[in-house]
Structure 1
Amino acid sequence: MTTVNILSGGAAQGLVRGLAEAFKAQTGFDIDGEFGAVGVMADKLRAGTPADLLILTQALLAKLAAETLVTPSSIADVGRVETALAVRNRDPKVTVRTEADLREVLRSADAIYVPDTKASTAGQHVAKVLDQLGIAYEVASRLKIFPNGATAMRELASSTATRPIGCTQATEIIATDGIALSGPLPPGSELTTMYTAGIATKAAHPKEAAALIALLSGADHRELRRRIGFAG
């Protein structure tokens, strides 16, 4: 069966899954590939992993285009995603309006579930915020770090901790059963990331990749993007 292969940040996994049926009806192609920390996905492309389509942060996709690994004219914005807090469904949501609120919430958690703090967008931001709040050392032993946001949120859902909390892209929180979106990070600690899609210069199926970009970014699926956690 013919397949379009993608390398994507975890933030877009729910959207791709939601469009797979429409894409197959339109092109006859299935979608396969990998979702994970954007830095890891970019390095896979650089290492020669076959891919037709990339869905990564705007800045990273621009860098890959400059490296002649992505066709610049193919790049299209998919939407913005907030980095947000998550709790288990059975736990009360937390109210975080200020950085002082956020500091208190993180200090009172006995487990903090986050994606890779070096290769993922949200994980890098969490590390920065903990430093900014002056609590990085204090909470270091409570950080539960996983390769990507989706894995971190699944682990949060099954956590046996008393007061666990998670932090990753809103789309990954919404897509995970057993947890709830508690709200975005407050002013001063917030992060909104634009995700974009582009066709690999060595794509085996560039025409179908372009069709998938049109579905991902088109007006017809604006409501689906909003429901999954994308804005703009």
Structure 2
Amino acid sequence: MATRALMAELFQQWAEQHTPGATLQSVGGVEALRRLRAGEAFDVAILSSEAIRTLQRDGWVAPAGSVPLVESCMAMAVRIGAELPLVSTEAQLKDAVMAAGSIGYSTGPSGVALQQLFQRWGIEDAVKVKTVQAPPGVPVGSLVADGRVELGFQQYSELMHLEGLQVLKTLPPGTEVTTVFSAAINKDSPNSEAARRLLGFLCGPQTTAAMQRHGMAPCTNSQLDPGLLP
């Protein structure tokens, strides 16, 4: 979901120039991984690097058949009109979490990282009763905007365009969560040459402006392995 708008824009550019009949399906990472592991046909998967490694372990993607594309940071949001907590330090962020009446988080990598942060702070049990996990495909920001949760954490790219929110993009030092999203080619894809061309396009400098416009940044090591070139 974090890369949905970005990939829709970039894929349209690429398909119009190279493969007009190609299609893009955008679903949440949990659902995408479930469908791919169940054997649904695909040529290229764009998921968190952790999910891509799962596909590699399961044999759907060759060990050297992936490339990191984009970095996405986790942000915090409150409803418009609410007071945005002062969280310039890790201690202040922990205090804000403890003071919040309810906390929303996602099923994706930012949600996993947030729970790990709570564990590190030793407050996992204390906040469990007030945490709300957004269903797959539902933005955490929508729960914040309509008042179902007081404090929300999710990828900045998923919060930045939602109405009714105040968003703090940068979390304090020691609590930053950055998710890397990678692209991988199905090792049995019948369209492997076109898939390689797509990865080459996504790794190119022409995608940087779009990534930044959608609240993300290109991976500094986003270079296509020569073995993946068509």
Please say whether Structure 1 and Structure 2 have the same fold, judged by a TM-score greater than 0.5. yes
Say if 2:210 is the partner of 1:218: no
Shift of 1:101: 0.7
**Which residue of structure 1 lines up, in the alignment, with residue 162 of structure 2?**
176
Shift of 1:221: 1.4
- 8 A Cα contact 2:42 2:189, kept in partner: yes
**Which residue of structure 2 lines up, in the alignment, with residue 11 of structure 1?**
2
**Which residue of structure 2 lines up, in the alignment, with residue 193 of structure 1?**
179
Say if 2:37 is the partner of 1:46: yes
Say if 1:92 and 1:223 are closer, same or farther in 2 by CA, change over 3 A.
farther
Shift of 1:158: 2.0
1:97 to 76, 88, 91: 88
Structure 2 counterpart of 1:193, one-letter code: T
Structure 2 counterpart of 1:77, one-letter code: P
Say if 1:215 and 1:171 are closer, same or farther in 2 by CA, change over 3 A.
farther
Tell me the distance in 2 between the aligned counterparts of 1:87 and 1:15. Answer: 24
Q: Percent identity?
A: 25
Say if 1:220 and 1:60 are closer, same or farther in 2 by CA, change over 3 A.
same
**Which residue of structure 2 lines up, in the alignment, with residue 137 of structure 1?**
125
Say if 1:87 and 1:213 are closer, same or farther in 2 by CA, change over 3 A.
farther
Tell me the distance in 2 between the aligned counterparts of 1:206 and 1:91. Answer: 50
- 8 A Cα contact 1:36 1:149, kept in partner: yes
Tell me the distance in 2 between the aligned counterparts of 1:149 and 1:48. Answer: 21
**Which residue of structure 2 lines up, in the alignment, with residue 6 of structure 1?**
none
1:156 to 144, 154, 172: 144
**Which residue of structure 2 lines up, in the alignment, with residue 28 of structure 1?**
20
- 8 A Cα contact 2:8 2:24, kept in partner: no
Partner SS for 1:35:
coil
**Which residue of structure 2 lines up, in the alignment, with residue 7 of structure 1?**
none
- 8 A Cα contact 1:171 1:229, kept in partner: yes
Partner SS for 1:80:
strand
Say if 1:51 and 1:132 are closer, same or farther in 2 by CA, change over 3 A.
same
Tell me the distance in 2 between the aligned counterparts of 1:215 and 1:157. Answer: 36
Structure 2 counterpart of 1:121, one-letter code: P
Tell me the distance in 1 between the aligned counterparts of 2:211 and 2:198. Answer: 14
- 8 A Cα contact 1:69 1:200, kept in partner: yes
Say if 2:29 is the partner of 1:37: yes
Say if 1:149 and 1:115 are closer, same or farther in 2 by CA, change over 3 A.
farther
Say if 1:144 and 1:74 are closer, same or farther in 2 by CA, change over 3 A.
same
- 8 A Cα contact 1:16 1:216, kept in partner: no
- 8 A Cα contact 1:99 1:133, kept in partner: no
- 8 A Cα contact 2:15 2:22, kept in partner: yes
**Which residue of structure 1 lines up, in the alignment, with residue 109 of structure 2?**
121
Tell me the distance in 1 between the aligned counterparts of 2:32 and 2:141. Answer: 19
**Which residue of structure 1 lines up, in the alignment, with residue 216 of structure 2?**
230
Tell me the distance in 1 between the aligned counterparts of 2:157 and 2:127. Answer: 25
Tell me the distance in 2 between the aligned counterparts of 1:141 and 1:188. Answer: 25
- 8 A Cα contact 1:82 1:170, kept in partner: yes
Which deviates further from its counterpart, 165-174 or 148-157? 148-157
Q: TM-score, normalised by structure 2?
A: 0.81
Say if 1:173 and 1:214 are closer, same or farther in 2 by CA, change over 3 A.
farther
1:88 to 74, 79, 84: 79
Alignment: residue pair count: 217
Superimposed CA distance per residue, residues 100-136 of structure 1 (whole angstroms, 9 cap, x where no aligned partner) = 11111112222211112xxx21111111112222322
Unaligned runs of 5+ in 2: 220-230
Structure (1/2) with the larger strand percentage: 1
**Which residue of structure 1 lines up, in the alignment, with residue 223 of structure 2?**
none
- 8 A Cα contact 1:23 1:29, kept in partner: no
